Structure 1
Amino acid sequence: MIQTLQLFSNPAFSVDGMSVSFGALGASLAAMALLFVSLRLWAKLRIRQEFDLAAEVAAERQATEDRRLEALMQAQAEMQGRLATMAELFGSRQSEFNRSINERLDGMTHRLGTTISEQTKSTHHNLRILQERLAVIDAAQNNIQSLAKDVVGLQAILSNKQTRGAFGQARMETIIADGLPMGAYAFQDTLSNGSRPDCTIRMPNGQPPLVIDAKFPLEAWNAIRDATTPEQKKAAGQQFRRDMEVHLKDISEKYLMHGETQDTAFLFVPSESIFAEIHENFEGIVQRAHKLRVVIVSPSLLMLSIQVIQAVLKDQRMREQAHLIQGEVVHLMEDLTRLDDRTRKLQSHFLAAQKDVEMILTSADKLNRRGAKIEAMDFEGPQEPAPKSETAADPSAESRTGLLKLRLVDED
């Protein structure tokens, strides 16, 4: 033992003249080991404190997140409830809107169907009238074609004045009789100056009649057709101009009477070809006729003029009946006004009945709720019923009865 102590007391080594013994070296190593152990314990304690602190912070954060999640879940539940309420409200509004739209569409469809049916009837009526007029035009065209085929034999028929006058008069009378009703015209009527025109047409609205002459100087026209040389054609043309001017002047002087006849008279030419050649080769005669207020007409133009006069006469008859139509319209408007008043009264009755039904339904709901509450009350108990005097003397029973009555009144 002594040797061991001596060994630790003896110097182990020297550094810069300083001797270090084994005992001092061991003490230093022990101190260093103690310091290392202390530092390690302090580090573990520090790490544990930091870990506990982080765990507390994490726990606080987890609690905060849980509270936030719970608040979000509650808000989500409230939002789902609101959305369900809004969806139900929107569904009811949508159904009401769809029902209103369907009712309006049904009404509009009915009105459109009525309007389309009326338009269809009007269109069929107009088409029927148009077909009738087209049939008249086709008949006139057929007449024109037949007349064009008979142009060659027309000169032989109109070889003398009597035959010519009878033919022109017959064609004119046929056209007028086909286009105008009886009483709207007269043949060979005598005027105040003693002249007798071939036809007079009575004009509407008290206007003077229209005079039509059916005579035509065909001899000069036949001379133009029969001429073979330019000199003969020129002489025949001059003779035709003179005859036409004399005839136009006679018409203007005899048949144009102020206040008794129209200011314009018709000269009827019974051939479309002659009418066309006059307007093509004898422009001076046409201008002279215009100055004398005489209109040269062919069968087609006369037919067109008769149709115009017929339309004017029809319009006059409609105007004469206009007061009757207006009276019927006034009666119709009165009936419509009465119908509107009765409809509004019926609507007010329906609204009042609807309000009464709503009030009845409200009362029924209240009765159902009261019945349910009465059914839910527990009238049986383990205690025996108290005597009548004690029950009447019990203030708590009276207070409960009064409280029940007040509760029922408040619920109403």
Structure 2
Amino acid sequence: MVQRFEGQKEITKFQVSEIIEEKFKKITAEQNKSTQDIILHFSNFQQAITSQLVSMNEKINKDLQIKLNEISDRVKENLDQGFKKTNETFNNVVERLAKIDEAQKKIESLSANVVSLQDVLTDKKSRGIFGEVQLQQVLTAVFGEKNDKVYQLQYTLPNGKIADSIIFLPEPTGSLVVDSKFPLENFRRMFDTSFHETERKEFVKDFKSNLKKHIDDIASKYIIRDVTADQAVLFLPAEAIFAELYAYHGDIIDYAHSKKVWITSPTTFMAMITTVQVVLNNIERSKYTNVIHQELNKLADEFGRYKKRWDALATHIDTVSKDVKEIHITTNKITDRFEQISDVKIDKLLE
């Protein structure tokens, strides 16, 4: 019995072992299947995640590329504008530097000219030439460069004196002499503060004395009875000297008037001869007006003769017209007679 029991026990163990093994296989199979399902699900999940990641990456790359392009365009635009502005600024700087360089050259040239002018004004003879040149420029500006009928330069008078210029005005004024004077030396000293006030007062006296001498010279040399006008012009090439005279030295102006010498500057002389030019033009127009008036009178006489001759011709034409009509009537009658003779209308002719 014991053996039987042991035999059954071994059978049961075997069966249990088989059952366990079968269960294990089943569990293993299920586990394998579950593992495969898990792997499949995980693989699908991985693919989905990968697909989404790829899609998201593509979208991100696309958006990023768009943003980068926008940024690049903006950067390029800003750079272009910056380069353009920089180029404009550079060009402006270059132009301004060129202008500055040109201005510097002009300043240097002007400085040289000022030094040259200073040298000219220092020398008495050079000052005289400078005044004559200014006088010539004013005359040329108004009357033209070459107009000997109106004015001449360096004109020799019958007394042998040579005037800087002469303007030929109509009678009763006559020829007006203009002479240039430039009393600069004492004028400068009058305002030079390096001199003592007492000395400057002496320079004022010398300045006025110089001007009186110039006025006397012009009055004695260039006002000639029955040759020139009974007055002359003293031309001052410096406006400052002219202004000083009229503002503070009226006694010199009165002295000049008493000598019939008129003091002018470039500006006032320009105004004076411009008025002269207008007067001369009016005189020329008056001459042409007289000529036109004379020609119109002659034309009126000719027209009077023409009218008389035309009236006579019209009367003659009327007479001839009447004669022509009468001749025309006679001609028609003769023509009718010849036609009747040609048709041999004897009976009618006898009638």
TM-score normalised to the size of structure 2?
0.49
TM-score normalised to the size of structure 1?
0.42
